Chains A and B, each alone.
Chain A
Amino acid sequence: MLQKDIKRLSLIMLFTPFALWIALLIIIPHLGMVVLSLREKVAPRVYEYGLGNYVDFMNEPIYWNTLLRTGSMSLLVTALALIIGFPIAYYIAKIAGYRTRGALFLLCLIPLWVSDLIRAFGWILLLRETGVVSSVLQWSGLIGEPIEFLYNDITVIVGLVYTVILFMIVPLVSTLDGMDESMVEAGYNLGGSGFTVLRRIIVPYAMPGIVSGCIVVFMLTAGSYLTPILLGGKNSSWFTEQIYEQFITRFNWESGAAFGFLLLAFTSLVVWLGLRLTGQTLANTVAKS
């Protein structure tokens, strides 16, 4: 009897923080946002419920263009992070020796010790008109006058890839780690070329890691704010910037809440599409990596 009570008590105690977290930080704020996004201001201090904020979004091309642009650039960043991260992860998981492995992992982690903000400023120091890259190029005589590398899409993408690539590498390393080397050897032994082995054996095996890495990276990129603003400047047209503007500059919380919801819906849709296309399920990828 006592044993049972203790069990129940410990369950409640363990479950309470989780329940509080879910309720207070996720469910209630989001419900508030939904309610907020469905309110329309018709006169000072007079509100009506309706879909007006969403209709406004559809009627203003600059809004949904920004969302689509954010989405497509995030996809590009995800793809680049995968292409660059996969060989790194493969090297760490399969080729590096036991001790090098820890060191390499540490090297990947070190940038995380510095905040996003500082890392973005680091890029600014490198890439601005009077920055390191421009000065070195001038000094070597390759260019005549200073070049501004900041405030364009390429810089934004480079900065974003740099920020998120670790979140691609970690799940990839953990999936590739579980792969038996003899599987790769069997792939060669049965007549496969290097490319065939990669395409038919390594990539399918790593698929759960690839998918979960891509989901995390895509979500982080689409929701990022600092990097696009600092490296892309005013023209970065990132959707989070629009949300910020609605909330802070225009003080239009209703429209900001609607935008926030649209971003969530849009990214969820992309992730769902991605899962469908690769034939993976969320449960399967999360469980395996």
Chain B
Amino acid sequence: MTSSPVHDLECIDVSKKFGSVRAVDNVSFTIPSGSFFSILGPSGCGKTTLMRMIAGFEDPSNGDIKIKGKSVVETPPNKRNVKMVFQHLALFPMMNVYENIAYGLRCNGASKSEIEHRVRDVLDRIALPDVAHREIHQLSGGQKQRIAIARCMVLDPDVLLLDEPLGALDLKLREAMKIELKLLQHQFNTTFIYITHDQSEALVMSDHVAIMNEGQFEQIGTPQQLYHAPNTAFVAGFVGDSNRWSGTVAQAQGSDVKVETTAGLPLNCTLIGNNVPLVGEGVEIFVRPEFITVQRQLAKTDGDIDAGHNQLEGVIDSLLFNGANSRVLVRSQTNQLIEADVTLTGGTDDLKPGDAVHLIWHAQQTMCFRT
């Protein structure tokens, strides 16, 4: 395999075994320069191990890691131009902000005036010009975050690794930091690799996201691709919210599949994947709540629903009010609970628990995967 120099980071068949456990299993990917790449996965999926291998704290059992086209597997962590923002930031409490940022430059043997200049410069860029002589414990959570990034960025790394750095922040600050991180990445124009189990962090900030599960990459793509065109059932279930059923194939024709769920509900689905399933085979079905239209059962909808749609009747069980993201839980006649997004205006004609409704959604938005 030839590597092209435009790739800041390239992993080729990287594996890591701890005893008989394969924490990372044959992972390959390339990250183009200057992009924001996230690795998203549930805890224990091996994403932290993968990151530690890139940083050099773990040696891969096999495979190769290349930075700017050069293999770094033999390079010790302090010689790799990959910097890391740790989960709990790991700022040095016995040094002030200036010393924290200057530490890496000192290790590189920069001159005093150069250190002074570059620390000022990076503090300006993160918009914290006046904190140089503060102690770490005097900073707020968001400021610490930015200092931890500045401490790495002052060294001009080829790749910056971020290991769930927003985990310790409260919700409001986390939302603000997501945007800020994205802006910082644009400003520094460095490749960021962001590790998280929080899908909204990954979707909002990233150019590309890799979904990791049980040591392997399930899918790599843009956030839109992952959300709208998942390759596997795991991705469909992990990214975004879904109504999820299992069922068996009743009839298959190309990618149009008719399925009966285990509760006996007939559905028109679109098959994802190439192998057309046999009749009677088990499948998993996913429908996102925002694709389901909720209509009150006033006038009888008389057969103008075309064949490409799914329709079922139910009663609203409860309302989950959350401003613009409000939902209803609808209990179907087969006694299943189905989530659907609704708009609540606060007026008198809003849906209420106990209302009888029709749920309608398109077969194209009903993804089914072979199990």
Contact = CB atoms under 8 A, between A and B. Distances in A.
Interface in A148-181: 180
A127 B86 CA distance: 52
Contact of B84 (A180, A189, A196): A189
A253 to B, nearest CB: 48
A185 B57 CA distance: 8
A interface residue count range (under 10 / 10 to 19 / 20 to 34 / 35 or more): 10 to 19
A108 B90 CA distance: 31
A201 interface: yes
B88 A182 contact: yes
Label chain A's interface by main secondary structure.
helix
A191 B86 contact: no
Interface string A185-205: 111111111001000110011
Nearest to A179: B93
A183 interface: yes
A192 B155 CA distance: 12
Interface stretch (B13-21, B101-109, B200-208, B277-285): B101-109
Most chain B CB neighbours (cut-off 10 Å) among A185, A187, A188, A190: A190
Most chain B CB neighbours (cut-off 10 Å) among A189, A196, A200: A189
B86 A190 contact: no
Contact of B103 (A180, A182, A190, A205): A190
A186 B107 contact: no
Contacts of B86: 182, 185-186
Given A182-B86, A185-B86, A186-B84, A192 B92 contact: no
Contacts of A201: 92
B152 interface: yes
Nearest to A197: B78
Contacts of B307: none
Nearest to A181: B90
Contacts of A207: 94
Contacts of B88: 180, 182
Interface in B152-195: 152, 155
Label chain B's interface by main secondary structure.
mixed
Contacts of B84: 185-186, 189
Nearest to B86: A182
A193 B78 contact: yes
B154 to A, nearest CB: 9
Most chain B CB neighbours (cut-off 10 Å) among A185, A204, A205: A185
A188 B76 CA distance: 9
B107 A205 contact: no
Nearest to B83: A189
A193 B90 contact: no
A49 to B, nearest CB: 50
Nearest to A196: B107
A282 B24 CA distance: 49
Contacts of A180: 88, 90
A193 B77 CA distance: 10
Nearest to A189: B84
B47 interface: no
A191 B57 contact: no
A189 B107 contact: no
B104 A191 contact: yes
B155 A191 contact: yes
A207 B83 CA distance: 27
B209 interface: no
Most chain B CB neighbours (cut-off 10 Å) among A182, A201, A207: A182
Given A180-B88, A182-B86, A182-B87, A189 B103 contact: no
A53 to B, nearest CB: 45
B94 A190 contact: no
A208 to B, nearest CB: 10
Given A182-B86, A183-B92, A190 B107 contact: yes
B338 interface: no
A201 B76 CA distance: 19
A168 to B, nearest CB: 20
Contact of A189 (B77, B87, B92, B94): B77
16 contacts: A180-B90, A182-B86, A182-B88, A185-B84, A186-B90, A188-B77, A189-B82, A190-B107, A190-B152, A190-B155, A191-B78, A191-B107, A191-B155, A192-B78, A205-B94, A207-B94
Interface of A: 180, 182-183, 185-193, 196, 200-201, 204-205, 207
Given A183-B92, A186-B92, A191-B108, 11 more contacts: A185-B90, A187-B92, A188-B57, A190-B103, A191-B155, A192-B103, A192-B107, A196-B107, A200-B103, A204-B92, A205-B93
A-B interface, 10 closest residue pairs, ranked by CB to CB distance from nearest: A190-B104, A191-B107, A186-B90, A182-B90, A204-B94, A182-B86, A188-B78, A192-B107, A183-B90, A188-B77
